[in-house]
Structure 1
């Protein structure tokens, strides 16, 4: 009884050895399509060659006032874009679906207030019109500033708690690098696939391909019901709190 088992094992081993000998490395090599050449920035954070520059420190040509779609008129000085709370939210002229976003922001060193009233703003990864409609990545001073954790910097507001808090102290620049995958809807308005966001905050992963429940809701749970949309602008929030306005710089996006 032992010999047939041994013989079977030997035959099986010979079969696999023969197959391995016939296989070639090039059988699993893929040569096309060839990825396009993209020249990276010379320093970390500098826009690569295929990026769309949304703010280069000189003007607001890529931005509109959300309220009336007139040219944006926040404050540009010294290569920095500072929120003007009297002018309301601004959004990009261009509309996007899936993209990679780089944006830097700074809370003033002289910031006052506490909780949500301390350097509050937001980056709406897809703007859905006036007010705060859209999908918000929270901007806030979260350096020794206690608030609800799904509303601190790095959170997808009221949905996803950040995996860490790498925020720098007021007066220092923070960096978000975001991968945004837009939601897809069926013809009847039902959801086909949810929006997803991956966020690096000062180089630290704080949102890992999180699947959003729907556009941001301040009160109540988010939902996609009745919210069918296509490509959308990116929006920056002029929050109504009374603390000193924060600033942005070096904003660019790569369409994916």
Structure 2
């Protein structure tokens, strides 16, 4: 009986060994074929010349040539009041600077956007009053629903998911990118809007990457929903929406605002 078992096991071992040898030879043969095929490629086999790329010109301190200029220091023609979109934005423009006028309400762009690259420069008030969220507070709402926080961040120990550069009440910045008091900050935002199917079901959440003063502080951050002051994010079905600048009661300054739809 043991002899039969031995012969049976040995036959299985022999068969498995043969299968392994055949598999190894097949893999070697396939690799040789692919290597041979690779040597037959020409450089032009993996090059293409269409579609022709658009040319975008850039210059220091100027918007790219294909950007929509939302504020260049001259007027508020691209903006309206969020309280009443039939009225012009009530904020003040002085010395080519847009100043958040306290208690007049938010302002928003006349145009609606979906995916985009947004550039905004901002500066805290000359005189900082208050503590925490009361120090030079404003915000930039993407599509009118998702706030990127604007706040004086010099020695300001407020909650981290409410700091400058945060996705408000959701995701704190990776680092705090500070500048001396009185200097201008820059935000460069790359945003992908959430997507909903025909039944209004969320199929892809929004994403945002933010460079604050040239430093990455949000990197492919998933936006969980509306940025609520109280409570959890909400899923709100929507299409393209405006850029909104928040009136939080502080004299926050803005300049050089432009956007590139993607």
TM-score, normalised via structure 1 length? 0.88
The change in CA–CA distance for 1:67 and 1:28 in structure 2 (over 3 A counts) is same
Give the alignment's Cα RMSD to 1 decimal: 2.0
Give yes or no for contact 1:111–1:170 (8 Å, CA) kept in 2: no
Where structure 1 has 5 or more consecutive residues not aligned to the other structure, the ranges are 128-133
Match of 1:18 among 36, 59, 80: 36
Aligned residue runs from structure 1 range 77-96, under 5 A: 77-96=94-113
CA contact (8 A) 1:137 1:156 kept: yes
Task: Verify the 8 A CA contact 1:149 1:161 in the aligned structure 2.
Answer: yes
Assess if the C-alpha contact under 8 Å between 1:195 and 1:212 holds in 2: yes
Partner of 2:6: none
Matches within 5 A, 1:219-238: 219-224=230-235, 227-238=236-247
Work out whether residues 107 and 141 of structure 1, in 8 Å CA contact, stay in contact via their aligned partners in 2.
yes
In the alignment, the residues of structure 2 paired with residue 212 and residue 156 of structure 1 have an alpha-carbon distance, to the nearest angstrom, of 8
**Could you tell me whether the CA contact under 8 Å between 2:103 and 2:248 is conserved in 1?**
no
SS at match of 1:88: coil
- Distance in 1, matches of 2:28 and 2:133, equals 72
1:198 matches 2:234: no
The structure richer in helix per residue is 2
- In 1, the alpha carbon distance for the partners of 2:35 and 2:138 equals 63
1:37 aligned residue (42, 55, 60): 55
C-alpha distance after superposition, 1:117-168 (max 9, x if no partner): 00000000111xxxxxx11000000111110000000000001110011121
How many angstroms apart in 2 are the aligned matches of 1:99 and 1:143? Answer: 29
Question: Shift of residue 104 of structure 1?
Answer: 0.2
Q: Does 1:179 align with 2:179?
A: no
1:108–1:170 CA contact under 8 A, matched in 2: no
- Cα distance in 1 between the residues matched to 2:84 and 2:38: 68
- Long gaps (5+) in structure 2: 1-20
Hey, what does 2:77 align to over in structure 1? 61
SS of the equivalent of 2:143 reads: strand
Q: 104, 112, 126: which is aligned to 2:143?
A: 126
Partner of 1:211: 222
Query: CA 1:19 to 1:228, structure 2 compared with 1: closer, same or farther past 3 Å?
Result: same
How far is the alpha carbon of 1:169 from its aligned partner? 2.8
Report the alpha carbon displacement of residue 14 of structure 1 after superposing the two structures with TM: 5.3
Alignment length, in residue pairs?
240
Report whether the alignment pairs 1:255 with 2:261: yes
Q: Which runs of 4+ in 1 moved over 3 A?
A: 8-17
Cα deviation per residue 1:169-215 (whole Å; 9 max; x = unaligned)?
Answer: 32110000001111111122210111111100000000001111111
Whether the 8 Å CA contact 2:70–2:258 is kept in 1: the answer is yes
